[in-house]
């Protein structure tokens, strides 16, 4: 090392010691990036190219930093920019910092695009049975790094959790009893609420016209949404007066009970369409008239936007489009009313 180089290193070290006893001087991330690039590439020219800026711009930034620090960071030697001990120390210690910053930027971008995140979604009984499996499959195909926490149950309970910030989205039926200025509702598809029997059930021989007859048999129902419970209370039998009743939020369990040819269940027609098509189940319109069912996406209008939620809603729209087509193509499939 020639005398000038030794002198430069000595000056740099002396001023570093001086800084330790003086006021603190902060480095921003751009300072660290500049120093690291020069040390990595060996010259201001190559570093500037790698950073996508001009060499004069880089030189000006480093010069200002040296003035702020009160110490020289680089000295020229045989066409190269040789770092002082301080610059070498910063570059060496900043490698992991810059890697972490790059990882942070990539994750922030993925979060902003809805490709990564943590979602809490509530599914009503029908949505759990027909939408949830497809949503999971589509999320996997989209290669999204999303942690999904799911809640299953009565929609009215989950809407309360939504307004309290415990859920990001609810997919299920919506009615006026759940109205709240803090929520936005988007209908996905309309269906019909029907009674469901096994083909060997005693009532499967023709249309069910007497509103009291089904209550003479064991019933298996989900937790009813307020509107359906209100209709049952006013026009049929209050749910608390039903003597032989099984309640469960999982339609798979209810369908198994119906398959034993003992229980009657009820719900949106699409839930049972595959079993009806296979010839195992038949459906009927409630004796006192049709009851509509609308699956919806329900979100908190006051919550911060979550791009990944938009992804889930878009997937739900696509699945619902298929469901609409199936319902239109099979308007009376398995209906005892149509057979009668």
The residue among 38, 56, 39 whose CA lies nearest residue 47 is 38
Which of 6-15, 19-28, 94-103, 196-205 shows the lowest per-residue confidence on average (mean pLDDT)? 6-15
pTM above 0.75, yes or no: no
Q: Which of 142-146, 154-158, 209-213 has the highest mean pLDDT?
A: 154-158
Task: Give 144's pLDDT tier (boundaries 50, 70, 90).
Answer: low
Share of the chain above pLDDT 90, in %: 40
Task: Give 112's pLDDT tier (boundaries 50, 70, 90).
Answer: low
Assess whether pLDDT exceeds 50 at residue 22.
no
pLDDT at 115: 54
The alpha carbon torsion through 236, 238, 244, 250 (nearest 10 deg) reads 90
Mean pLDDT of the 97-125 span: 74
Share of the chain above pLDDT 70, in %: 86
Q: Does domain 116-339 have CATH number 3.40.190.10?
A: no
Token digits for 263? 């229980």
Which of 45-54, 200-209, 248-257, 326-335 shows the lowest per-residue confidence on average (mean pLDDT)? 326-335
Q: How far is CA 108 from the centre of its chain?
A: 16
Q: Could you tell me the CA-to-CA distances from 155 to 55, 266, 291 in Å, in that order?
A: 62, 16, 18
pLDDT at 190: 93
Assess whether pLDDT exceeds 80 at residue 305.
no
Q: Does domain 3-112 have CATH number 1.10.10.10?
A: yes
Phi/psi of residue 173, each to 5°? -70, 150
**Domain coordinates in residue numbering, the chain:** 3-112, 116-339
**Is the four-CA dihedral 141, 147, 149, 155 of positive or negative sign?**
negative
Cα separation, 246 vs 248, in Å, equals 7
- Cβ contacts of residue 196 below 8 Å, gap of 6+? 255, 258, 264, 265, 266, 267, 272, 281, 282, 283, 284
Q: List helix spans (H) across the chain.
A: 3-20, 29-41, 44-51, 55-69, 85-112, 125-130, 132-141, 155-163, 226-235, 251-259, 273-277, 307-329, 336-339
Which of 166-180, 221-235, 310-324 shows the lowest per-residue confidence on average (mean pLDDT)? 221-235
How are beta strands 281-284 and 145-152 bridged, if at all?
unpaired
Q: In this structure, are residues 183 and 301 in contact, taking their beta carbons and an 8 Å threshold?
A: yes
Q: Which of 18-22, 92-96, 106-110 has the highest mean pLDDT?
A: 92-96
The CB density around residue 192, as the number of other CB atoms within 10 Å, is: 17
* Mean pLDDT (the chain, rounded): 83
Encode pLDDT of 147-198 as tens digits.
788 999 888 899 999 999 899 999 999 887 778 888 999 999 999 999 999 9
Cα separation, 334 vs 305, in Å, equals 43
Task: Give 288's pLDDT tier (boundaries 50, 70, 90).
Answer: confident
Assess whether pLDDT exceeds 80 at residue 42.
yes
Cα separation, 102 vs 60, in Å, equals 25
């Amino acid at each position: 090392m020639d005398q000038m180089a030794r002198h430069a290193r000595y000056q740099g070290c002396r001023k570093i010691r001086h800084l330790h006893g003086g006021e603190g001087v902060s480095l921003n991330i751009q300072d660290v990036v500049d120093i690291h690039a020069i040390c990595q590439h060996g010259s201001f020219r190559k570093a500037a190219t790698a950073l996508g800026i001009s060499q004069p711009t880089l030189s000006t930034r480093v010069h200002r930093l040296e003035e702020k620090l009160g110490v020289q960071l680089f000295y020229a030697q045989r066409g190269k920019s040789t770092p002082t001990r301080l610059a070498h120390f910063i570059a060496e210690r900043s490698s992991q910092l810059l890697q972490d910053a790059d990882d942070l930027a990539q994750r922030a971008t993925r979060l902003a695009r809805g490709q990564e995140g943590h979602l809490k979604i509530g599914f009503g009984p029908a949505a759990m049975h027909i939408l949830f499996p497809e949503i999971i499959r589509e999320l996997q195909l989209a290669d999204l790094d999303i942690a999904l926490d799911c809640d299953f149950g009565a929609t009215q309970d989950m809407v309360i959790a939504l307004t309290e910030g415990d859920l990001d989205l609810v997919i299920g039926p919506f009615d006026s009893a759940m109205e709240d200025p803090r929520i936005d509702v988007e209908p996905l598809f309309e269906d019909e609420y029907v009674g469901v029997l096994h083909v060997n059930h005693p009532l499967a021989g023709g249309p069910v016209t007497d509103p009291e007859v089904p209550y003479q048999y064991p019933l298996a129902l989900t937790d009813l949404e307020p509107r359906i419970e209100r209709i049952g209370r006013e026009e049929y039998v209050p749910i608390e007066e039903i003597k032989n009743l099984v309640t469960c939020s999982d339609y798979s369990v209810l369908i198994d009970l119906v398959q034993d040819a003992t229980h009657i269940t009820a719900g949106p027609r699409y839930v049972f369409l595959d079993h009806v098509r296979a010839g195992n189940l038949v459906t009927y319109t409630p004796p006192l008239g049709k009851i509509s069912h609308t699956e919806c996406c329900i979100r908190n209008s006051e919550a911060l936007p979550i791009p990944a939620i938009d992804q889930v809603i878009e997937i739900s729209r696509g699945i619902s489009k298929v469901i609409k087509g199936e319902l239109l193509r099979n308007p009376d499939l398995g209906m005892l009313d149509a057979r009668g």
